[in-house]
Amino acid sequence: MVRGAGVGPAGGVRIRPAVLEDAAAIARVHVDTWRTAYRGIVSAAYLRSLSYGEFEKRRRERLARPETCTFVAEARGQVVGFATAGPNRLADAQYDAELYAIYVRKAFAGRGLGRALVAAVASRLAADGFRSLLLWVLRDNAPSRRFYESLGGIPAGEKSERFGRQDLPHAGYGWPEISTLQGVALPAFPAQNAPPSGPSHSKGAAMVTAKVLEAVNEQINNELVSSYTYLAMSAHCSNGHFHGFAKWLRIQSQEEYAHAMKLLDFLLNRGGAVKLNAIGEPKVKFKTMQEVFESALAQELAVSKRIDALYELAQKEKAFSLMVELQWFLTEQVEEEKSARDIVAKFHLIKNDPVALLEMDRELGSRGPEKG
């Protein structure tokens, strides 16, 4: 599997979490789809007044909010759709989450991207503890209403919203159980030769298959082993008075532990049983500082292969919520590999120059903990 490939209802298309750099592309999709989908419903003057720049500003603000989530549909490297959701903006006792927006470019309509985006958002919201979902759609937007009804949305009231000089009625659709949306993308994904046994959604049962449960537990333990190994490397560097290297590696150890907790919480949120294994003694002696970081690079390459294998299993088992969760890990591993490669390359450049080695130790010591 090519690392970074995501959930995809059609070849060359993937669903992934949005990043801040996607704001401009999302804004263009937002404005362009409004102008096509709302033609004849919203006044032409209002649609002409829509600004890419203003929408980009709003999107950046939304992406910066930790309580919200946004996923994009990407085809050939271009964002062609998006969905964003978060806490219900209204004090509604029945629905705690809200789908704020979902748009797909007209050229990509009918390919299952909307369903895949809904599934991704629903999985993320469920992982964050939300139980139900509400959305609002223009009452006269018949195609969108049929789409939400096909997903099992039930009527959830009406409201009016102002667009320029127009007060336009909106219809609400709700899903009392957000878990019913986590698998809606199923028909859009490539069919398997033999469908695996699906997860049980009965009360109290784990919402992952036995194979997925075992594999995620294995990866949790792999991440903890990585954390333990990096801690041993850090101690070795500290004993050698390379405190900058030691700091970098200790932070790396903390990040690996955080990765394990991320997967652990994924299982707990789905009722899965966590199984922690004993951790063996890591390697504690290295001939050179270069050998330490060459070992670190080898470890990151091994982790990447395991994440790829876990993603492939999730795809085979139709564990869509895990596929969404692993998107973050896939992106993270690209960065982890690059960091380790860059450091090893510098060791090759400086060779045995003690002054350059001390400067490199100082440079790596400036690393701070990862934010977010």
pLDDT of residue 349: 94
CATH of domain 13-188: 3.40.630.30
Topology match between the domains 13-188 and 210-364: no
pTM above 0.85, yes or no: no
pLDDT of residue 12: 58
Give the domain ranges of the chain.
13-188, 210-364
HEC secondary structure over the chain = CCCCCCECCCCCEEEEECCHHHHHHHHHHHHHHHHHHCECCECHHHHHHCCHHHHHHHHHHHHCCCCCEEEEEEECCEEEEEEEEEECCCCCCCCCEEEEEEEECHHHCCCCHHHHHHHHHHHHHHHCCCCCEEEEEECCCHHHHHHHHHCCCEEEEEEEEEECCEEEEEEEEEECCHHHHCCCCHHHCCCCCCCCCCCCCCCCCCCCCHHHHHHHHHHHHHHHHHHHHHHHHHHHHHHCCCHHHHHHHHHHHHHHHHHHHHHHHHHHHCCCCCCCCCCCCCCCCCCCHHHHHHHHHHHHHHHHHHHHHHHHHHHHCCCHHHHHHHHHHHHHHHHHHHHHHHHHHHHHHHCCCHHHHHHHHHHHCCCCCCCC
pLDDT of residue 335: 85
pLDDT of residue 244: 95
CATH superfamily of 210-364: Ferritin, core subunit, four-helix bundle (1.20.1260.10)
CB 133 within 8 A of CB 127: no
pLDDT in tens, the chain (372 residues): 223 334 444 445 788 899 889 999 999 999 999 998 999 999 999 999 999 999 999 999 988 888 899 999 988 888 999 999 999 988 767 899 999 999 999 888 888 889 989 988 998 898 888 999 999 999 999 999 999 999 899 999 999 999 888 999 999 999 999 888 865 543 333 332 333 333 333 333 445 688 999 999 999 999 999 999 999 999 999 999 999 999 999 999 999 999 999 899 888 877 788 999 998 888 778 999 999 999 999 999 999 999 999 989 988 888 877 887 887 788 888 889 999 999 999 999 998 899 999 999 999 999 876 544
